Amino acid sequence: MNDYNAHTTLYDVIVIGAGHAGCEAANAAARMGTRTLLLTIDLDKTAHMSCNPSIGGPAKGHIVREVDALGGLMGRVTDQTSIQIRLLNESKGPAVQALRAQADKRLYAKVMKEMLENVPNLDLKQAMVERIVPIDTISNNGDVPSKFAVVTHTGRAYYGRTLVLTTGTFLRGRAITGEAIWGAGRAGEAPAVALGQDLASFGFPLVRLKTGTPPRIDARTIDFTQTEVQFGSTKPLYFAHYYDEEALPQPHFTGVPSSVYPQPMLDSWWPQLPCYLVHSSAEFHNIVRENIERAPMFSGVIEGVGPRYCPSIEDKITRFADKESHGMFLEPEGWHTNEVYVQGCNTSLPEDVQWSMLRTIPALRNVELMRVGYAIEYDAIATGEITADLSTKRIPGLFLAGQINGTTGYEEAAAQGLMAGINAARTVQQQPPIILRRDQAYIGVLIDDLVTKEIHEPYRMFTSRAEHRLLLRNDNADLRLTVLAGELGLVDANRVAKVEEKREQTETLLNTLRKQSIFPSEATNTQLKTFNMDPIQNKVSVDHLLRRPHIRYAQLQEMFDLPDAPKHIIEQVEIVAKYGSYIEKQQRETERVQRMENRRLPSDFDYNEIPGLRNEARHVFIRFRPATLGQASRLAGINPTDIAIVLFALERISRRSTETSEVTN
């Protein structure tokens, strides 16, 4: 390691890795006023979409909205570079409705890099990190406080007060296609071997995980007449929060898309490309079964555990043997490329098998593969090594975010990166960490799960994981989180004011509807009938009518001369009116849970000295060191009796402390 000299720079926060976690971490830390360095192997692959070039989906779309509400970048970059966007589960309730967009893969990385280059206090540098060295001080005509030295492949050392590791799939990564195995963090990029060895030498237990990608095919060799076309939304949809028409994003795409894609939506509110649905066949399945012994995940070549909810095609065909076909979406990777992603066909089967099975699909009879599918196997840190602020228990000041914590998905990585960047900056500023609650954000659910649950496979967020999901909707992420972002310096005062204005306008309009009464009469009921509404027998408020499932504000506005309001205000009013009783019930439940959640557990709590505590529970508490009683209650293997015993011990300590204080006084 080089000695500290005039060419060495001391940073408040150093972020290693510029994937989706690293970009959000660096942006957050820098915007909070700390001098930040972002190091990555290839600057041109900043926020590279190594797998599916899509953002969002159930729960994941909620996370993107929350990241934006907290001043993050993912939503805005997606809005500027999307080639298609849709609202999923539109016919269902607001708790599970979610946005999903296809992005232009190369354009997304370009726009993200441009945004980061314009963030104050942030330096971007291309380098492969070979070593991280925890240290106490660095001397240069006096002591310069620091905690870490980061040494690159050229021997250059950077020094930082805090360090955020966002290594993705690069820790001892290897790519696998059939019998072919090569070292890679992703196709074409070298793995981080030395860095993984460093972490192991610090005592971090490592686990082996696996993810996969499908083949990419040439659009010119697809028979699109034998596909089902899936169009994007015909009405404006955005991930980020915009409060003025002038602030709406403008598409970076200009010109004409590749002519190979039929039916592009160029005259809609936003230029969009369709996706195309195809299905596997019996012949497809037979080819996979005949070659199953050549599949690395079945032959024993792959050691790591893959995600259950996103299995490879060979796993799907084996596990669901009675299923005659599986749907796969052909998704363009950008406006000016012929490369198409075969969504739903993740595989590490040998290349010849990939060619054969795809050509059994009618639309792909003459298909040409541009990139073969492969599996990536990599190291992650075992469960129980991080706290709720994403710092490590072994090394203070070291934060972990993304796949290194056992997650999968761009959105989960971005959320962790954002919170790790915030808390690294807070550490430098000697401020307490920011920890989002489970009833406050999907981000809070995600991180709480990572801290309290055993992760045996790559973790993915689902709406079912959030017990308070009616409170954590797409539409109110800004109302939940943007004021906090303003306090942290992540968004400006004008944006906070817009959110508060939204809150006030919503409440004002709701009060107007609650106060305006409608009386039963022949004329009123005739008017209601014209809108397919049931007649009323007693006096009701307009708010009461809006509670009916299929009634919209626009209908009532026409009937009863209601005031005009912006679209996002009307959306809030309709949701609160229709789901108000359910929302209030969840809020009461969260208040009850919060009383337990707020009971802090001392970091040095001696669980060995608690009488009556089961040995299994004692072991779990010592390993995870929960920060609160609420966290403790969610640990695997912990039952209500264990919590009662810990609570009793906690209160006994509190009473002794009070008695000692009174005697002293």
For 376-430, write each residue's pLDDT tens digit. Answer: 999 999 998 999 999 999 999 999 999 999 999 999 999 999 999 999 999 999 9
Q: Which residue did the predictor score with more confidence, 95 or 160?
A: 160
Per residue in 333-354, pLDDT tens?
A: 998 899 999 999 999 999 999 9
Q: Give the confidence band of 5 by pLDDT, cuts at 50, 70, 90.
A: very low
Inform me whether the pLDDT recorded for 660 exceeds 80.
no
What integer is the mean pLDDT of 593-610?
A: 83
Per-residue model confidence (pLDDT) at position 139: 47
Q: Which residue has the higher pLDDT, 314 or 189?
A: 314
Question: Which tokens in the block code for residue 664?
Answer: 């002293």
At 578, phi and psi to the nearest 5? -80, -30
- What is the SS3 assignment for 633? helix
Q: Which of the four pLDDT bands, split at 50, 70 and 90, describes residue 644?
A: confident
d(CA 255, CA 273): 14
* Amino acid letter, residue 17: G
pLDDT tens per residue across span 475-484 = 999 999 999 9
Cα–Cα distance measured from residue 41 to residue 187, given in angstroms and rounded to the nearest whole number: 13
Domains in the chain and their CATH numbers?
10-208+378-488 (3.50.50.60), 216-249+261-377 (2.40.30.260), 493-589 (1.10.10.1800), 599-664 (1.10.150.570)
Q: pLDDT category, 39, cuts 50, 70, 90?
A: very high
Q: How many percent of the chain have pLDDT more than 90?
A: 57
Look up residue 136 and give its two tokens.
Answer: 């106490």
pLDDT at 581: 87
Task: Say whether pLDDT at 235 is over 60.
Answer: yes
Confidence bin at 142 (pLDDT 50/70/90): very low
Q: How far apart are CA 110 and CA 245, in angstroms?
A: 25
461 three-state secondary structure: coil
Averaged pLDDT, 229-235: 93
**E-strand stretches of 511-608:** 517-518, 540-541
Of the two residues 62 and 52, the one the predictor is more confident about is 62
pLDDT of residue 145: 59
Q: 8-12, 322-326, 367-371, 389-393 — which is least confidently predicted?
A: 8-12
Rounded Cα distance between 243 and 368, Å, is 45
Given pLDDT bands bounded at 50, 70 and 90, which one contains residue 650? confident
User: Which position has the higher pLDDT, 7 or 279?
Assistant: 279
Note if the pTM is more than 0.85: yes
Structure tokens at 561: 């001369």
Q: Please tell me which residue, 335 or 246, carries the higher pLDDT value.
A: 335
For residue 375, count other CB atoms closer than 10 A to its CB: 25
Helix (H) / strand (E) containing 355: helix 351-358
